[in-house]
Structure formats: C-alpha cells, structure tokens
Amino acid sequence: LFLFVFGTGPLRGFAVTLVLGLVINLFSAVYVSRTIFMWQLGRKRRLETLSI
C-alpha cells in the first residue's frame, strides 16, 4: 500500500503485482489446503474407541 500511494510509474505496477500475489497466496493457503486436509480426513476410516 505504501509503494502504491507514494510510488510512481513502474513502482505502482510492482505494488499492484505484490498485493495481488499476497491475496492469491492467502486464498490458496486457507481454502486449498483446508480442502486437501478435509479430503484426507474423509479417506481415513474412523477409529473405534478402545475401552480400558
């Protein structure tokens, strides 16, 4: 945000690219890895409770 506000020309373009990369990285870290994790959990059979 600082680069976009105070920068000029190519620096603003770099700031936009940087912010876009951060947003896409956040999306993939949260949603894609959660989907993969839930898919892996669904593949495992439920373990039976052991009585002691």
pTM over 0.85: no
Distances from the Cα of 13 to the Cαs of 7, 10, 23, 48, 50, in angstroms? 9, 5, 16, 56, 60
* Rounded CA separation 8/12 (Å): 6
Give me the average pLDDT of each 10-residue run along the chain (52 residues). Answer: 85 93 93 87 66 65
* Rounded CA separation 28/17 (Å): 16
CA atoms within 13 A on the CB side of 6: 3
Predicted confidence at residue 7, as pLDDT, reads 86
Predicted confidence at residue 16, as pLDDT, reads 93
